[in-house]
Structure 1
């Protein structure tokens, strides 16, 4: 494995953990992880990169070794502001190549449209967005959120790292034992009772009170000027959050139409965690696009 190094910086008042691979001074490739994930998750694809890169990957607030928020809910505007501050910190004068997975890709896609001059090229790994919502859903969503605030959310603890690895493999059956063992040690921390807790704020389990406004997102996508590499897995599970395949697939194609310069790739024998399932093939796609 390529050696990584950790750094802690202050981002908008939060102690933020950032992982680095590669040579300082090399071209920057900024990577942002998805929901209930951590920066170390990119280790396998970084190992397969052949070029001279300085890969920078933060733990989002509320995940990994970064601070948790002091409020009851995590908001996308906070993530956008955090990303803006981090890119200003590491590359104040030049646009960067930005890669995002899942939730991270959704944040990065918004950012690439809000600050198009800051992004040179954008790689979207399964960042489809969410199901469109309707205004009449708002009362029920707010009520559910208020109900959930009455009961503090909890994360399950695990007896040892082997159990954490088994949990990761339950979610992703393709994950080999050695990769699961590596991820487990970055995904969980030991508590005072000797058990292992997932390094994610339990507040993430609450429903977001703000409805997903797909046309607002598309307005941002339409302003992206960077070339976009869009990568999907062939064993896709987007239907879990976008609805039935017969309606979700046409909706994805509609959304792709808002991107001015997009190249679409399908990664074989991979699921949603495609950077774990096919890191070598993914690294080849990334570097071919960045060249």
Structure 2
């Protein structure tokens, strides 16, 4: 099985959104939503394997990667509306839906608003709200990594990402360096994402918490909650509330932090594949 993908673009809500497409459209569709300040290419190592059984589509959310920045903002319902229209435009629904971090929040909104369009839902280390310590940690991290002055070259960028994520498998560092940066007019490598995304981690998103918990009650599809035991984003209290709120959910814990999919990718892929195949067969 080759690992080639096709790039695609679609006009949604006045924005040109980029996506990668893997595997045959004849297979069940798997839609994968990335987190804040990354790109669709963070899913490449998983899409490469999952395309054997699925038609894998990984969009760059608004403000990220090669998709347009959005003047009107980045509220969770705006992300979700983009994905609704994206699914309709590509004619791929209903889909298996996977999200990590902010992609979890978007996934909960998408599946709650239109449960008939989501066959299964896999949520990687986030929920309708963060743990108290997680909210602070994510805000501080995004502030540090959004307002970068720029890198001289790829080696400089690689050293920066390694410093922040020494526990990641090397492939994910390389993907960050290759796809997450652009060369600006001054010849510096700077992040592709819109700096305004950092406001998601502030008080502007507090109203989303109540909304997302209300959407969580509507998740009738099989739902897998994946969490890291040492995550600084969610904790056992949030996971327990998710399991009590979501009608058809189960949880799996990883002996790792928030980025277990990049620290233990084989374990993550095995867990996700088993969940998908179980319900695909059903």
Map of 1:139 onto structure 2: none
Q: Deviations 1:233-286 (Å, cap 9, x if unpaired)?
A: 2331126xxxxxxxx532431232111111211123x32222222222111111
1:79 maps to: 79
- Aligned pairs for 1:91-240 within 5 A: 91=91, 94-131=93-130, 154-206=147-199, 207=202, 209-238=204-233
4+ residue runs of structure 1 moved beyond 6 angstroms? Answer: none
Aligned residue for 1:86, secondary structure, equals helix
Q: Distance in 2 between matches of 1:224 and 1:203?
A: 30
- Aligned pairs for 1:39-54 (under 5 A) are 39-49=40-50, 51-54=52-55
Q: Could you tell me the TM-score, scaled by structure 2's length?
A: 0.85
1:177 and 1:132 mapped to 2: Cα distance?
28
The structure carrying a bigger helix percent of its residues is 2
User: Would you say how many aligned residue pairs link Structure 1 and Structure 2?
Assistant: 261
CA distance in 2, matches of 1:235, 1:209: 27
Q: Give, in whole Å, the separation in 2 of the partners of 1:213 and 1:175.
A: 30
Instruction: Indicate which of 211, 232, 249 corresponds to 1:262.
Output: 249
Contact persistence 1:110–1:217 (CA under 8 A): yes
Distance 1:50 1:79 in 2: 25
| Unaligned segments of structure 1, at least 5 residues | 134-152, 240-247
Q: Secondary structure at the match of 1:122?
A: strand
Corresponding position of 2:236: 249
SS class of match (1:127)? coil
Give the Cα–Cα distance (whole angstroms) in 2 for the partners of residues 189 and 49 of structure 1.
Answer: 28
Between the aligned partners of 2:276 and 2:204, the Cα distance in structure 1 is 38
Larger radius of gyration: 1
